[in-house]
Structure 1
Amino acid sequence: MKYSLLLCVFVMVVLNACNNPKNTGNTIETADSTANIKTELTESFYKRLEGTIAGKKVVVHLQKVNDDVSGTYYYDGSWLNLSTDTLVGKDSILLTEYSFYESYFTQDFKSPHLALKWNGNGFNGTWESGDKTKKFPIALTEKYPENSYAFNAGIYQDSVKALPNQAKSPVAQISFEYLESTSKDEFGTWLNTELKKIIGIKPTVDRKTGFKNIASAYFKDYKTQVAEQQKNGRDDDYQAWMNYTNNSQQSVTYNDNGYVVIDFLADAYTGGAHGNYGSTMYCLDVKNKKQLLLSDIVKIDTNSLAKILERNLRKDYNIKAKDALSTVLFDNFIKPNKNFYFNANGLAFMYNPYEVASYAQGQIVVFIPFAELKTFLVPEFAQRMGIK
């Protein structure tokens, strides 16, 4: 699933990554995701799943909209991402598993796969290594314990032709894959307000109207650019790169202890050699109805945190002590940014393309286990997360 660096629209967010859903034209779809047992999978859903993979406990966040499935889970020291490989009927899914580090080191890396089959209240299946030499069982159940939250998942899509009278006209496409809290209490209301704000919709405006307003502004700007190209007499060459896209996706990466972490991923193409993308991470303290600052998680000076970041960057990206960080990064140092997030095991910092490294290197993610931050953790945060 998945702006001239966000042309238009998402002025409040950093650019994001690769999710370009199929355009069906000014449609909006939602599907409920609750803790109740279901006999079949809905067309779209968000599911928080607990269980085991290869006998180890995991929490998987899985999201499906139309035919696109994506998700995340943490396993044995690695934060892993899931994307669609194949959909088999209504109740079976084959997912590809990848990590930031594997994609960085090996272009030809053979990704593992998860074959999942819905059993009415969860998934059973098999994890298989990319080289097919290892297989392990998967058993997952949909659960929403106290202080976790259920969501709808949906998508709004629209498009417009640059030249309405031409059959093969360039097209501008826009899509919003979004989440909506199913709870009607004060916490669900607050969550929905924050989710709309992330996209750029005012709290008092309903989603469909908000999406239409953003799309209209985007298409107006697109038409203006088309008119400028025609005015400049570039009828023969500009059409080749006027197929613009502007896509975004909200997804859950953590959902426990009264916290919800949202990855807002956006990607855009506005001409040129390639598009651009990036993720903005939102750590929402639902219990206290506020967005977390880094100082709500750790009390540590920047220099000390930078040293811990460097140590883990070297470990994650296999940079030897004798080698400069600039073998991977633009500079020979790395600093914490505001684009942080967390799970039950640690704190991560996300650096989008061009922020600390080249576009070809993709997103750089540095994960710090909480074990290395224990003396710096804010007591309230540590208590709620169960960190001792």
Structure 2
Amino acid sequence: MKRALLLLLLAGGLLPACHNSSRQKDQPDTASAVIPLASTPYYYTQLKGLVGNRHITMQLLKTAPNLFRGYYSYDSAGQPISIWGSQDGEQVKIYEDNGSHEEERFFGGSLGDDGTFKGVWHGDSTSWHFELHTDLRKAQPLQVYYDADSVKLLPSFPASPLGIASNSIIWPDSSADSSLTVFIRKAITGDVHISDPRQYVKRAIDSFVTSYRIAAKDADSSDIADGESASWNWTTESDMKVVYNTWPLLVIEKYAYDFTGGAHGNSGAFYQTLDLAKHKVITPEEFFKPGYKDKLSPLLDKAFRKKFHIDEDESLDQNLLVKTIVPNNNFIVTDKGVAFSYVPYEIGPYALGQVTLFIPLTELKGILK
């Protein structure tokens, strides 16, 4: 049931060298767009600026009350780095999601209604001032919708366990071309007929609440009275993030976590790279030449060793469930490289978490179509 629920939450149904004038007409004019970052309840924006003397681009989303998520990258490298954070008063802390447990890195500062994020970046035993400004030129504008609900297992029992569900989605902005809007909606929902974001954001929540109420019929009230009820505190969380957004590419992440009893919950993130000019989802088969998997596996192995500091003479299956990493379809494309992402248990143990491996375009010569 856990995996079925996770798949339900995650379900939603080539790098162009140039674009002609007809494609450019589909690109919205967002050069002057500014999101009031301090007062808007939920939003997506793209920020650009300097950390010290290094240029970065940040995809920042406020996806729930007091919760920020997204990605950023150093423009020279282009590798997406997952971020999350929260707000305490006027102070915002945005942390790098560092799965390798290295030194904590974070942006600490304040958000402004003029579309700015200013403060100090901390990490690598040093700190740098940063100043980021809204920059949606060449970016697809998007909106964020959020909802949540909870239900008691036993409504008449004061200390009843709870089922808690939350969901956050992105949605094409009203300024988008109508055919482009339909394409993005279908990529998000998997269904071309879904047009109401508020109904869609509630659908997964309502499904969870219904499942929890059905399961409640099997609950043993005596165990709950004795305090043996932790496994009935079910939780499901799902959200969407922007990984990369420069016309014509838009990369989105669909993430889901659910706990329905047992030793731990299940989680996973699924990625889609959208070619907005061609109205299509980019797949590895379209991006690489035939036989690419055999040539990419050594590069993925190399990326894993670098990310997790594994020596060349150490077999990968001492750390993973596989001897070599094979490309999958959980695929990210940016202007600087590609990434393949693996959910827990796909190539490694649960404790390793989701593993995303980035390969620069400079290492892919001879493989690209």
Q: Fold match, TM over 0.5?
A: yes
Cross-structure match for 1:304 = 295
Aligned length: 344
Select the residue among 111, 116, 132 that pairs with 1:122: 116
Select the residue among 134, 137, 158 that pairs with 1:142: 134
Alignment of 1:321 onto 2:312: yes
How far is 1:215 from its partner? 3.1
Alignment of 1:36 onto 2:58: no
**Which ranges of structure 2 fall in alignment gaps of 5 or more residues?**
13-29
Query: What is the rounded CA distance, in whole Å, between the counterparts of 1:39 and 1:216 in structure 2?
Result: 31
Cross-structure match for 1:265 = 255
Query: What is the rounded CA distance, in whole Å, between the counterparts of 2:153 and 2:111 in structure 1?
Result: 43
Identity of aligned residues (%): 24
Q: Which amino acid aligns with 1:274?
A: H
Alignment of 1:72 onto 2:71: yes
Query: Matched residue of 1:313: which SS?
Result: helix
Cross-structure match for 1:20 = none
Select the residue among 42, 47, 50 that pairs with 1:49: 47
Judging changes above 3 Å, is the alpha-carbon distance between structure 1 residues 35 and 263 closer, same or farther for their aligned structure 2 residues?
A: farther
Cross-structure match for 1:363 = 354
Query: What is the rounded CA distance, in whole Å, between the counterparts of 1:157 and 1:244 in structure 2?
Result: 14
Cross-structure match for 1:208 = 198
Query: Matched residue of 2:310: which SS?
Result: coil
Query: Matched residue of 2:5: which SS?
Result: coil
Q: Which structure 2 residues correspond to residues 21-32 of structure 1 after superposition, within 5 A?
A: none
Query: What is the rounded CA distance, in whole Å, between the counterparts of 2:268 and 2:36 in structure 1?
Result: 37
Q: Which amino acid aligns with 2:198?
A: K
Q: Which amino acid aligns with 1:165?
A: S
Q: Which structure 2 residues correspond to residues 54-65 of structure 1 after superposition, within 5 A?
A: 54-65=52-63
How far is 1:70 from its partner? 1.4
Q: Which structure 2 residues correspond to residues 116-265 of structure 1 after superposition, within 5 A?
A: 116-118=110-112, 120-129=114-123, 131=125, 134-146=126-138, 148-182=139-173, 183-185=175-177, 186-197=179-190, 203-204=193-194, 206-230=196-220, 236=226, 239-265=229-255
**Contact between 1:8 and 1:217, CA under 8 Å: does it hold in 2?**
no
Query: What is the rounded CA distance, in whole Å, between the counterparts of 1:40 and 1:315 in structure 2?
Result: 36
Judging changes above 3 Å, is the alpha-carbon distance between structure 1 residues 346 and 116 closer, same or farther for their aligned structure 2 residues?
A: farther
Query: What is the rounded CA distance, in whole Å, between the counterparts of 2:367 and 2:295 in structure 1?
Result: 10
Alignment of 1:93 onto 2:92: yes
**Contact between 1:248 and 1:265, CA under 8 Å: does it hold in 2?**
yes
How far is 1:205 from its partner? 5.1
Query: What is the rounded CA distance, in whole Å, between the counterparts of 1:54 and 1:178 in structure 2?
Result: 33
Judging changes above 3 Å, is the alpha-carbon distance between structure 1 residues 238 and 223 closer, same or farther for their aligned structure 2 residues?
A: farther
Q: Which structure 2 residues correspond to residues 325-344 of structure 1 after superposition, within 5 A?
A: 325-344=316-335
How far is 1:196 from its partner? 2.4
Judging changes above 3 Å, is the alpha-carbon distance between structure 1 residues 123 and 229 closer, same or farther for their aligned structure 2 residues?
A: closer
Query: What is the rounded CA distance, in whole Å, between the counterparts of 1:338 and 1:215 in structure 2?
Result: 27
Query: What is the rounded CA distance, in whole Å, between the counterparts of 2:290 and 2:47 in structure 1?
Result: 34
Query: What is the rounded CA distance, in whole Å, between the counterparts of 1:305 and 1:317 in structure 2?
Result: 18
Q: Which amino acid aligns with 1:36?
A: A
Residue-by-residue CA offset, 1:344-385 (whole Å, 9 max, x unaligned)? 22111111111111111111121111100132223xxxxxxx
Residue-by-residue CA offset, 1:210-269 (whole Å, 9 max, x unaligned)? 3444433322222222212349x7555763211111110100000013111111110000
Query: What is the rounded CA distance, in whole Å, between the counterparts of 1:344 and 1:355 in structure 2?
Result: 27
Cross-structure match for 2:274 = 284
Alignment of 1:110 onto 2:104: yes
Query: Matched residue of 1:5: which SS?
Result: helix
**Which ranges of structure 1 fall in alignment gaps of 5 or more residues?**
15-32, 379-388
Residue-by-residue CA offset, 1:168-227 (whole Å, 9 max, x unaligned)? 211112111111111341213321232222xxx663352333344443332222222221
Query: Matched residue of 1:229: which SS?
Result: coil
How far is 1:336 from its partner? 0.8
Residue-by-residue CA offset, 1:136-191 (whole Å, 9 max, x unaligned)? 22122212223x20111120111211111112211112111111111341213321
Q: Which amino acid aligns with 1:363?
A: Q
Query: What is the rounded CA distance, in whole Å, between the counterparts of 2:280 and 2:234 in structure 1?
Result: 35
**Contact between 2:115 and 2:134, CA under 8 Å: does it hold in 1?**
yes
Query: What is the rounded CA distance, in whole Å, between the counterparts of 2:111 and 2:146 in structure 1?
Result: 24
Query: What is the rounded CA distance, in whole Å, between the counterparts of 1:263 and 1:274 in structure 2?
Result: 22
**Contact between 1:171 and 1:242, CA under 8 Å: does it hold in 2?**
yes
